[in-house]
Amino acid sequence: SGNPLLRVNIPPDPRHNVVMISMVPAKSPTLAAVMAPTRSGGGTFQITGAGGRPYGELRNTGVGQYTLYCGSAEGLTLFFDGSTGQLFLLSSADGSQIAKANRGTDSNFFSGAEHLEVRVNPGVDAVLVLSTVLAVVLFGGNPLPSGGSPLTPSVGPRQF
For the chain, what's the residue count? 160
- Of 149, 155, 146, 136, nearest to 61 (Cα)? 136
Write down the pLDDT at residue 142. Answer: 62
pLDDT in tens, 139-157: 887 656 554 334 444 444 4
60-114 pLDDT tens trace = 898 889 999 998 899 999 999 888 889 999 999 999 999 999 887 776 666 767 7
Query: For residue 57, with 0-12 CB atoms within 10 Å meaning exposed, 13-18 middle and 19 or more buried, which class applies?
Result: middle
Residue 46 is predicted with a pLDDT of 92
Among residues 39, 10, 14, the alpha carbon closest in space to that of 22 is found at: 10
Q: What's the mean pLDDT in 20-47?
A: 83
DSSP letters, 55-90, are EEEEEEEETTEEEEEETTEEEEEEEEETTTTEEEEE
pLDDT at 149: 36
| Bigger pLDDT: 147 vs 27 | 27
What are the b/e assignments for 80-105, b being 16+ CB within 10 Å? beeeeebbbbbbbeeeeebbbbbbbe
pLDDT digits (tens, 9 = 90+) for 106-132: 766 667 677 888 999 999 999 999 999
- What's residue 153's pLDDT? 42
